[in-house]
Amino acid sequence: MDSGDETPGSGPRREGNIQNVRPIPGENHPERWPNFTGSCGSSRGRSSNVAHHFRCCSGPKVQCSGNCVRKLMDFYELCGQNANNSRALVIKGEWAGCKGTGKKMLRRRLMKMHGAILKTAGLLAASLFLITVSCKEQANKEASRSMVIVFASGDASIVRNGESIPAKVGTVVKENDVIKTTQGTIDLQSRDGSAVRVREMTTLSVSSLMGTKGETRIEMKQGQILANVKKASSDQEFNVVTPTAIAGVRGTTFEVQVFEGFDDNRVSNSSVRVLDGKVAMKPRIVALENVSQEDIEKSPKLKKLAELQNKEIVLDDASRGSMDPELEKKVALLNNAAAENGDSTQALKIAEEQADDLSNTAGEDKALIKEEAEVTVKDRMESATLTAATPEMLEKLEAGSNQEAANEIAEVRKKQQEQILAQIEEEAESQKLESEEEIRKHYQALEKIVLKNGEVIRGATVAQTGNILVIHTADGVRRVSKSEIASQNFL
């Protein structure tokens, strides 16, 4: 395009009312651009090309390279107000120019506009990328702060915001949920592979799941759990809290039991048994949980309680930890009083009053007891079925594809159970126990199991995987489904 020559067919410029232009988005038909055509020259073809280059979006704007960047008045001004010396031109719809004195001005303005568009597009792309990454990170963070039920049997429920919902495969357990089982069990699993089996007659709450300090905290009121914990990093914590103790897990398979007993005050006693790995166990003083270190340092009595709470033992493979019974009773009563009062000031006052007695009872090394614990074949086999879902299965459950994922998990569990049951039966048969007395002596137990069809089985339950029991009798080893059992008692 020559700077001083008119394009053939351009004709004299006609003034048009730019303010009234209402272009149709994305169209390239000159007949729909009457005012635009009038403003840029008489040639429909030329004006059509201009319309093609500056595609329109909603309202009186033009769009360049996919971004709405100019009002039509701005485009009109690009070539100057002088109709005799300036005219908007296009070469094959790919480059706009100006007739006469406006050409250089237009080129500069278009290049500047194009650079701004690229910059804006780059910023937009970067923003979209960051938003996408942020959304994924947030989704992953939320996923990490939940556990999913991957197995459920019998009577079990989740209490959320005061409402009870049935525990079933695919239910996402969140912070502050309360889990209750009676004649049922459930398995929970997180994305990192950690798993918790909540056994029968258990009540616990999930007070924190990968919270601000990276802590997962399960508070047990009563019952039993079996857990297999896998920590992704050293700054993550997995704590199981009972009414009297805290078990800090360092990556392990372990069991926690809480039983109500002692006396009419129904105070609890707690124990931790480690199958493999390490667990740090220490007393729990509820009154100190919301007190700053600064306030503790100001009170000699509270310092004594803090020292007691910091006494810990590290349990390793095949070991059991518990508290001194006399100390645990006093700790339980103190914690009950703190929970009942609610008022932290009153709770601290009670704690200070009992600090000396608790400290004297604990002595130097009396607070906690560590002893060896037997890890049976049943324990090993049960822990082997604790984790059944892959991260992909958990994603499906969390996304709502419950049935598909549940079927996959059930198939994995079925294969695991069959392998484990075969191994258990083989090991039990190798013992060659041919009488009830030999069975009682070997397993330290003998049971009478009455089936719903009236059949009576006498022997010892070697292991249980899911709903299947392996029972060693004088006649050999057999499997029995829990659904077949009418009653089961120790002899």
User: How confident is the model over 250-305, as pLDDT tens digits?
Assistant: 778 889 999 876 455 546 689 999 999 999 999 999 999 989 999 999 999 999 99
User: Which candidate, 148, 195, 168, places its Cα nearest to that of 392?
Assistant: 148
* pLDDT for position 43: 35
Q: Is 160 helix (H, G, I), strand (E, B) or coil?
A: strand
Distance CA 163, CA 157 (A): 10
Please tell me the number of Cα atoms within 13 Å of 48 on its side-chain side: 9
Length of the chain equals 491
Distance CA 370, CA 367 (A): 10
* pLDDT for position 144: 54
For residue 426, pLDDT beyond 50: yes
Strand partners, 489: 448
For residue 188, pLDDT beyond 80: yes
CATH 2.30.30.100 segments of the chain = 431-491
Q: Would you say 280 and 229 are in contact if contact means Cβ atoms under 8 Å apart?
A: no
Distance CA 130, CA 137 (A): 10
- CATH code: domain 431-491 is 2.30.30.100
More confident: 423 or 138: 423
* pLDDT for position 119: 61
> Among 25-29, 93-97, 193-197, 352-356, which range has the highest average pLDDT?
352-356
Of 185-189, 237-241, 294-298, 342-346, which range is least confident?
A: 342-346
Fold of 146-382: Jelly Rolls (2.60.120)
Query: If you average pLDDT over every residue of the chain, what do you get?
Result: 74
Instruction: At 111, list the tokens.
Output: 């290049």
For residue 396, pLDDT beyond 80: no
Q: How many CB atoms lie within 10 A of CB 196?
A: 25
Is the Cα torsion angle 130, 134, 137, 139 positive or negative in sign? negative
More confident: 121 or 322: 322
Sequential DSSP letters for 103-127 = HHHHHHHHHHHHHHHHHHHHHHHHH
Of 141-150, 174-183, 241-250, 342-351, which range is least confident?
A: 141-150
More confident: 25 or 266: 266
More confident: 348 or 211: 348
Instruction: At 176, list the tokens.
Output: 């502050």
For residue 377, pLDDT beyond 80: no
User: Which candidate, 29, 38, 79, 31, places its Cα nearest to that of 56?
Assistant: 29
In 3-state terms the chain splits into helix, strand, coil percentages (rounded to 5) of: 40, 30, 30
Residue for token pair 């989740």: 158
* pLDDT for position 414: 80
Residue 338 — very low, low, confident or very high, per pLDDT cuts 50/70/90?
confident
Residue 208 — very low, low, confident or very high, per pLDDT cuts 50/70/90?
confident
* pLDDT for position 3: 40
> Among 120-124, 170-174, 249-253, which range has the highest average pLDDT?
170-174
Helices (DSSP H) in 385-461: which residue ranges?
391-398, 402-430, 436-443
Residue 405 — very low, low, confident or very high, per pLDDT cuts 50/70/90?
confident
Backbone angles phi, psi at 401, to 5 degrees: -85, 60
Number of H helices, E strands in the chain: 12, 25
Q: Is 274 helix (H, G, I), strand (E, B) or coil?
A: strand
User: Which candidate, 38, 51, 48, 49, places its Cα nearest to that of 11?
Assistant: 38
Burial class of 97 by CB neighbour count within 10 A (0 to 12, 13 to 18, 19+): buried
* H or E, element range at 328: helix 325-341
CATH 2.60.120.1440 segments of the chain = 146-382
* pLDDT for position 424: 81
* pLDDT for position 288: 93
Strand partners, 471: 461, 478
Q: Would you say 281 and 298 are in contact if contact means Cβ atoms under 8 Å apart?
A: no
Strand partners, 159: 164, 178
Q: How many CB atoms lie within 10 A of CB 201?
A: 13
Strand partners, 220: 204
Q: Is 388 helix (H, G, I), strand (E, B) or coil?
A: coil
Average pLDDT over residues 424-452: 90
More confident: 74 or 147: 147
Of 113-117, 328-332, 430-434, 486-490, which range is least confident?
A: 113-117
Instruction: At 297, list the tokens.
Output: 């340092």
Distance CA 222, CA 342 (A): 21
Q: How many CB atoms lie within 10 A of CB 434?
A: 11
* pLDDT for position 51: 39
* pLDDT for position 385: 78
* pLDDT for position 108: 53
Distance CA 272, CA 31 (A): 84
Is the Cα torsion angle 101, 102, 105, 108 positive or negative in sign? negative
Ranges of beta strands (E only) in 201-354 are 202-208, 215-229, 237-241, 245-260, 268-283, 313-315, 319-323
Of 178-192, 241-255, 303-317, 379-393, which range is least confident?
A: 379-393
For residue 36, pLDDT beyond 60: no
Please tell me the number of Cα atoms within 13 Å of 475 on its side-chain side: 5
User: Which candidate, 22, 18, 13, 20, places its Cα nearest to that of 42?
Assistant: 13
Q: How many CB atoms lie within 10 A of CB 362?
A: 22
End-to-end Cα, the chain, rounded Å: 107
User: Quick one: what percent of the chain has pLDDT higher than 70?
Assistant: 66
* pLDDT for position 307: 94
